[in-house]
């Protein structure tokens, strides 16, 4: 595996970790998820939300229902 592929895999593993954190934080409210996302760069935020939806579509649906403006957090 070359260096670029290792870096990409490492990046994605980190995004998956943050997605799991975001799912857990939803139990504490939308603001908790939003605070987590503000600590990440834009690509990571989008990756987290994609992974969030993939891992737990039901909770992702709950998030969207509670915070339909979540896309604004991605800026």
Q: What is the pLDDT of residues 1-23, one digit of tens each?
A: 566 666 578 899 999 999 999 99
pTM > 0.95: no
Q: What is the pLDDT of residues 26-75, one digit of tens each?
A: 999 999 999 999 999 999 999 999 999 999 999 999 999 999 999 998 88
User: Is 70 buried (19+), middle (13-18) or exposed (0-12) by CB count in 10 A?
Assistant: middle
Per-residue b or e along 43-63, where b marks 16 or more CB atoms closer than 10 Å to that residue's CB: ebbebbbebbeeebeebbeeb
Q: Where are the domains of the chain?
A: 3-74
């Amino acid at each position: 595996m070359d260096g670029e592929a290792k870096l990409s895999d490492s990046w994605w593993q980190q995004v998956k970790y943050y997605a799991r954190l975001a799912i857990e934080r939803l139990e504490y409210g939308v603001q908790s998820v939003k605070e987590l996302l503000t600590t990440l760069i834009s690509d990571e935020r989008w990756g987290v939300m994609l992974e969030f939806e993939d891992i737990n579509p039901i909770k992702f649906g709950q998030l969207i229902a509670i915070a339909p403006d979540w896309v604004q957090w991605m800026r």
